């Protein structure tokens, strides 16, 4: 079995920041990522609020730069699914689809995944008009009509992005005002391709072989409307990817890992960083900060257990 001093689970901004700091500290580290580097950041078309990039940076470009920088300090990166995390004396065993890794410390940087609407037709049409990633699927809807569900930053950012392709974009929001930042709200309101459906929720997604109609209910009046669309993009929040440790650590009511300010879960050698942990702000900049703190704490932990 392969032995490492530290295993980082997850290759988003938190994981790569942790990997960078750990590798620079000469900690024998492996980062395990299930997909492409970058996590949710890589599915964001353009990031304007990450310091050091005047004018913004593409999510994929930023992810690739993080990967390149961390690897330049000899970070070991493995692409595999982590199936199970097992405690052992003096550390852990990380069981992956590529084999098992013994380690003294683990940083969980597994991020979060989109929440589902939970309405009829959502599962049936997933990949046939229902999407959770405008950056991934927006180009399939050129000159078509789509709906975006949600009112936060992600929903509004992706709605604006979709106007590059779609002829019309509905933003469906259960309230009468967006939750997104003011600058995004103004861009959306000023965009002639965007129309708002206020005080509205999607109750059903309808079609034969693909999405054709969404049934929308006015939460104030109860009236239901059929809206013709070719696709629907869902941005109604996220769920923590904390299944690996749901029986090991404390979670809040939404499944996010509870840590202290040093990213410790309370189990010696086990840390959590980024969107998977309970926190007030989930952004690339806060994820990278979490990762850096976690790696520094691991360095202290390992020094105290030599």
Positions marked catalytic: 133, 136-137
Q: Which two tokens stand for residue 109?
A: 């940087």
- What does the angle CA 130 – CA 131 – CA 133 come to, to the nearest 5 degrees? 170
Q: Which two tokens stand for residue 94?
A: 């990380």
**Helix, strand, coil distribution of the chain in percent, nearest 5:** 25, 30, 40
How far separated are the first and last CA of the chain, in Å rounded?
A: 21
CA dihedral sign of residues 226, 228, 232, 234: negative
How far is 228 from 281, CA to CA, in rounded Å? Answer: 35
- How many other CB atoms are there within 10 angstroms of residue 24's CB atom? 15
Alpha helices for 165-303 (secondary structure H):
182-190, 284-303
Beta bridge mates, 235: none
Is the separation of the CB atoms in 217 and 83 below 8 Å?
no
Is the separation of the CB atoms in 21 and 291 below 8 Å?
yes
């Amino acid at each position: 079995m392969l032995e490492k001093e530290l295993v980082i689970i997850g290759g988003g901004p938190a994981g790569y920041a942790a990997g960078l700091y750990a590798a620079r500290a000469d900690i024998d580290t492996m980062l395990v990522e299930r997909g492409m580097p970058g996590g949710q950041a890589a599915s964001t078309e353009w990031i304007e609020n990450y310091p050091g990039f005047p004018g913004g940076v593409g999510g994929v470009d930023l992810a690739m730069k993080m990967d390149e920088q961390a690897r330049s300090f000899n970070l070991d990166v493995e692409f595999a699914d982590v199936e199970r995390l097992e405690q052992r004396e003096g550390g852990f065993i990380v069981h992956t689809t590529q084999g098992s890794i013994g380690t003294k410390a683990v940083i969980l940087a597994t991020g979060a995944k989109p929440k589902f609407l939970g309405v009829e037709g959502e599962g049936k049409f997933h990949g046939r008009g229902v999407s959770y990633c405008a950056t991934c699927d927006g180009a399939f809807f050129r000159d078509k009509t789509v709906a975006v569900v949600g009112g936060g930053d992600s929903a509004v950012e992706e709605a604006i992005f979709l106007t590059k392709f779609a002829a019309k974009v509905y933003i469906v929001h259960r309230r009468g005002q967006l939750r997104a930042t003011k600058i995004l709200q103004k861009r959306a309101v000023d965009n002639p391709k965007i129309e708002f459906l206020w005080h509205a929720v999607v109750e059903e997604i309808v079609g034969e072989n693909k999405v054709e109609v969404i049934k929308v209910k006015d939460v104030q009046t109860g009236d239901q409307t059929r809206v013709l669309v070719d696709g629907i993009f869902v941005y109604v929040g996220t769920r923590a990817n904390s299944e690996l440790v749901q029986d090991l650590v404390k979670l809040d009511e939404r499944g996010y890992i509870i840590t202290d300010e040093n990213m410790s879960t309370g189990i010696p050698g086990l840390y959590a960083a980024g969107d998977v942990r309970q926190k007030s702000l989930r952004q690339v900049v806060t994820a990278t900060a979490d990762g850096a703190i976690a790696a520094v704490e691991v360095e202290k932990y390992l020094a105290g257990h030599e």
